[in-house]
């Protein structure tokens, strides 16, 4: 299976005008970080970010952490096989959040990763753990 990045990813694609347009940095190998201010068009209940978007953010951070571990930046040559999300506090529309991801264990074909969303004070709002698979390995 050959994965092709056409820069139209809903989460991080710079060519997708309807996407989240996340911009990640890679502070250390196997980690990533992004800041994001959720807009009202992504809300569920009034003033609160939709849980599906929260899950998307956490999933994308794990993929980018794997990409950072592969020696660069950008999303990885891996796809999510399993994702468990824990919602702890509401993510507020219009408030800046920090998204981070890290590789916990890399077995070549299968990578275990985690991610979290915090507010500006560092309070954890949501977190995830997952397994990603590199189809080409």
Extract long-range pairs of 17-20: CB within 8 Å, 24+ residues apart.
20/53, 20/56, 20/57, 20/60
| pLDDT band, residue 135 (cuts 50/70/90) | confident
Residue carrying the six token digits 């954890």: 124
- At 103 the pLDDT is 95
Residues 5-21: pLDDT tens digits? 788 888 998 999 999 99
* CA dist list (Å): 13 to 7, 8, 60: 4, 4, 11
Residues 62-91: pLDDT tens digits? 999 998 765 555 556 789 999 999 999 999
| pLDDT band, residue 137 (cuts 50/70/90) | low
* CA dist list (Å): 87 to 53, 116, 121: 12, 10, 17
| pLDDT band, residue 123 (cuts 50/70/90) | very high
Among 132, 133, 134, smallest CA distance to 58 is for: 132
Q: Can you give the pTM of this predicted structure?
A: 0.93
| pLDDT band, residue 4 (cuts 50/70/90) | confident
Number of continuous H segments (helices) and E segments (strands) in the chain: 1, 5
Q: Which fold has domain 32-133?
A: Thiol Ester Dehydrase; Chain A (3.10.129)
What residues are paired with 57 via a beta bridge?
A: none
- At 6 the pLDDT is 83
Stretch among 42-46, 55-59, 71-75, 126-130 having the lowest mean pLDDT: 71-75
| Residue 45 CB neighbour total at 10 angstroms | 10
């Amino acid at each position: 299976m050959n994965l092709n990045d056409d820069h139209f990813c809903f989460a991080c694609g710079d060519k997708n005008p309807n996407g989240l347009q996340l911009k990640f940095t890679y502070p250390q190998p196997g980690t990533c970080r992004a800041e994001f201010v959720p807009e009202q068009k992504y809300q569920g209940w009034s003033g609160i970010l939709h849980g599906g978007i929260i899950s998307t953010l956490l999933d994308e951070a794990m993929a980018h952490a794997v990409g950072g571990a592969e020696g660069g930046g950008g999303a990885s040559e891996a796809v999510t096989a399993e994702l468990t999300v824990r919602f702890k506090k509401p993510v507020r529309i219009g408030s800046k959040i920090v998204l981070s991801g890290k590789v916990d264990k890399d077995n070549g074909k299968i990578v275990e990763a985690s991610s979290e969303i915090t507010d500006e004070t560092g309070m954890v709002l949501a977190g995830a753990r997952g397994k990603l698979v590199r189809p080409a390995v």
